[in-house]
């Protein structure tokens, strides 16, 4: 936690919350920075940003409640709205944000793919920073490891499973954070060679899907559940589903959506 005194008011904002706010802010200013050379309107960037913040919180929470721990929330329904206690799933945020983006662009009659391409670097940057918040909160923890870079979580308020505290774990939050910063660099480089609409968002989806699939191998929070008889985690299954969709999107957009 941060320990702040502002105008005589003592505040202790959680590190996770501070980094999440920084993640959203960085994504917003990144989108604003890139919108002008892409010829996109700042007012739509602002509206979409607010929509993404709201849909991210709702989508991340809904996915966690419905797929990762439904029996608990069936027994404790009032806990569904207790978002301050944690319990979010990134893919839920990403999927609902994409859907809400489609709805917004249809209603306002603007180009969805153009704004999705704009968002690609912002999302990569935001996830990279957000996962640092996960690291400090102790959520999204890794499996036990004997590797020299294993980390231990011992703080009593850490979200790490009580049975895994004081045990060296894979820093999966850091793995994903580093991976997302690399994806951010790649998409930024690709943006300078932008040849067709949808190129950046589909490249991001493929790159992030591969990254997330690999990181899931080292995750230790197995309570999130598995599919196909325990073969894949929910996030691995979604990652595998995104890849063919993105490849089809690339094939279609290369043929039918060239940049002028």
> The tokens of 31 are what?
């989108």
For residue 4, is pLDDT > 70?
no
Q: For residue 126, which phi and psi values (nearest 5 degrees)?
A: -65, -45
- Per-residue model confidence as pLDDT tens digits over 137-183: 999 999 999 999 999 999 888 889 888 999 999 999 999 999 999 99
Which residue shows structure tokens 């993404």? 52
Q: Which residue has the higher pLDDT, 124 or 11?
A: 124
Instruction: Count other C-beta atoms under 10 Å from residue 33's C-beta.
Output: 11
CA atoms within 13 A on the CB side of 135: 19
Whole-angstrom Cα distance, residue 244 to residue 42? 32
Q: The whole model's pTM is what?
A: 0.91
Alpha-helical runs (H) found in the chain = 15-35, 42-63, 70-75, 90-108, 112-137, 172-191, 199-217, 234-256
- Per-residue model confidence as pLDDT tens digits over 98-149: 999 999 999 999 999 999 999 999 999 999 999 999 999 999 999 999 999 9
Whole-angstrom Cα distance, residue 62 to residue 59? 5
CA 219 to chain centre: 16
In three-state secondary structure terms, 258 is strand
| Nearest CA among 7, 157, 22, 3 for reference residue 86 | 157
Q: How many domains does the chain have?
A: 1
| Nearest CA among 258, 185, 253 for reference residue 30 | 185
> The tokens of 211 are what?
């990254």
Are 143 and 217 within 8 A, CB to CB? no
Domain range for 223 is 4-256
């Amino acid at each position: 936690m941060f320990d702040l005194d502002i105008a005589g008011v003592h505040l202790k904002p959680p590190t996770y919350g501070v980094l999440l706010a920084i993640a959203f802010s960085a994504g917003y200013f990144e989108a604003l920075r890139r919108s002008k050379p892409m010829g996109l309107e700042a007012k739509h960037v602002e509206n979409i940003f607010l929509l993404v913040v709201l849909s991210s919180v709702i989508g991340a929470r809904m996915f966690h409640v419905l797929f990762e721990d439904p029996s608990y929330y069936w027994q404790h329904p009032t806990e569904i709205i207790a978002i301050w206690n944690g319990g979010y799933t990134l893919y839920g945020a990403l999927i609902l944000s994409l859907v809400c983006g489609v709805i917004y662009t249809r209603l306002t009659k603007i180009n969805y793919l153009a704004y999705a391409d704009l968002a690609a670097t912002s999302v990569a940057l935001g996830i990279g920073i957000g996962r640092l918040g996960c690291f400090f909160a102790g959520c999204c923890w890794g499996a036990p490891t004997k590797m020299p870079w294993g980390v231990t979580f011992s703080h009593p308020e850490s979200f790490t499973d009580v049975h895994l505290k004081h045990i060296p774990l894979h820093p999966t939050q850091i793995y994903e954070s580093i991976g997302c910063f690399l994806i951010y660099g790649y998409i930024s480089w690709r943006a300078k060679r932008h040849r067709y609409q949808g190129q950046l968002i589909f490249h991001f989806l493929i790159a992030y899907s591969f990254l997330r699939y690999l990181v899931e191998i080292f995750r230790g929070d197995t309570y999130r559940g598995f599919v196909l008889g325990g073969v894949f985690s929910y996030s691995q299954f979604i990652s595998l589903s995104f890849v063919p969709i993105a490849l089809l999107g690339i094939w279609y957009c290369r043929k039918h959506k060239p940049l002028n």
